[in-house]
Amino acid sequence: MLAPNTAPILDDLLLDVVTVIELSDHDRQVAENRYRRLKPHLERPSSPLREPLMNSASMIYAQGSMAIGATIISGTDEDRFDVDALVDMTTPGHWSDDDVLDYLFDALQGFPDVRKIARCTRCVQMHFAFMHMDVTILDAARQPRIERVGEIFHSPDTGTGYRVPSNPYGFSTWFRESVTQPTYDFERSLQSRRRIYGVDRLPESSIKAEVDQENLPDVIPTRLDAQQVLALKLMKRFVNLRFQTRTIRRPPSIYFTKLAVTCGYEPSGLTTQLERFAAKVKAEMDAVFAKNAGPDERNPTHQPDRLNDRWPTSQDDRRTLSADMDYLLNALRIARTAELKDIAAIFDNLFGERVSTRTIDTFSKRMGKGSGRETFRYERGSGTIIPVAAAAAASVASAAVAAPSHNFHCEE
């Protein structure tokens, strides 16, 4: 059962987790520059993609988490971001389903700052310091074409390659239009927090944005600070940590992305939004476990596009994710009435020790403990903070001051 009450302190701490695990403004600029450099690099004279790119109405843009602003550090042992780029083009008719990724692999050679390039089953992955970029080719559907609908290529090391219906642009547009938009004050408060406490991870890139490029759309959309997006970032971090050492396949992040919307909006704040989200995932897993089939999540803008076409593969997949949601819900229930030091231990397990340490440090600095002088006392089980000076004065000792004073409700 979802807790009906708000949790202002836990909301504030979870926002600090978001600030720690997401791309900073600096990191977004480095990523933006790399996205912008893709098109001229793939169209250079020696590129095997030059001719089909130049002869078609090609586009290159962000997809996945970058398109909705939900990119987070992926691993627990390194601060790495995984981002996705889509090359939307018309592929030559004589190319096989395996040729496409081979040509893309060759075309990406020599990309600035890249350390390693790997050909994967559905993309080519470029490794940079603290960042991987998965580049995928989308073969544009024939005219009359629904906007940016096409097929991506599945090309395994062994076995026959095939095509997969896809419309990532439509999905990200649906997502951005479906979430509850934040208030201006909330966005301004969160952006101020990012400027002070955000973590810059990506080193300065030697790539500079090509200001004179034409016909190149914005590749990284503006941030989307909807409460559902913040809960999605927290959920992805939690799931990444749980699956770090497992041998079974991790659920695709796009599956969680859809459920982050379909679970509904929770007006009680970020903590309750995350609980609502986890309860939705658990209910889905319990239902499909009972049937030993599914789920079958489809792209709302293109029904042939199955979002989880390679997961789950067994009852163990479903059972494991359901148990993870139980764990998350129970941990949040305990954290609601725990002392700060106990919340830190809970966050160690939910989001990783390094993330938890940075979160508590950030919270302490903001609340005035960074100087070594305690200026507040956390009241166990109350969800409030009492300033030490107020607690010492009998006339105001009973006046618990809820903190922080931010508006965590994102709706107007």
- Summarize the chain as % helix, strand, coil (round to 5): 45, 15, 40
Domain range for 281 is 8-331
Q: Is residue 70 part of a domain?
A: yes
221-230, 346-355, 360-369: which range is least confident on average?
360-369
Q: Convert the pLDDT of each residue in 92-121 to its tens digit.
A: 999 999 999 999 999 999 999 999 999 999
Q: Is residue 239 part of a domain?
A: yes
Quick check: 210 pLDDT over 60? Answer: no
Residues 139-156, mean pLDDT to the nearest whole number: 95
Phi, psi of 133 (to 5 degrees): -120, 120
For the record, the structure tokens of 138 come out as 């989308």
Q: Is residue 347 part of a domain?
A: no
The model's pTM is 0.88
The more confidently predicted of residues 395 and 218 is 218
Q: Is residue 155 part of a domain?
A: yes
Annotate 94-138 with DSSP letters as a single string. Answer: T--TTHHHHHHHHHTTT-TT--EEEE-SS-EEEEETTEEEEEEEE
Q: Is residue 126 part of a domain?
A: yes
The span from the CA of 399 to the CA of 189, in Å, is 25
pLDDT at 57: 86
Q: Is residue 363 part of a domain?
A: no
Query: CA nearest 18: which of 265, 237, 341?
Result: 237
Query: CA nearest 57: which of 22, 14, 101, 87?
Result: 87
Q: How many domains does the chain have?
A: 1
pLDDT at 55: 87
Quick check: 3 pLDDT over 70? Answer: no
Q: Is residue 301 part of a domain?
A: yes
Q: What is the dihedral sign for C-alpha 396, 397, 398, 399?
A: positive
Query: CA nearest 194: which of 72, 18, 408, 334?
Result: 18
Q: Is residue 199 part of a domain?
A: yes
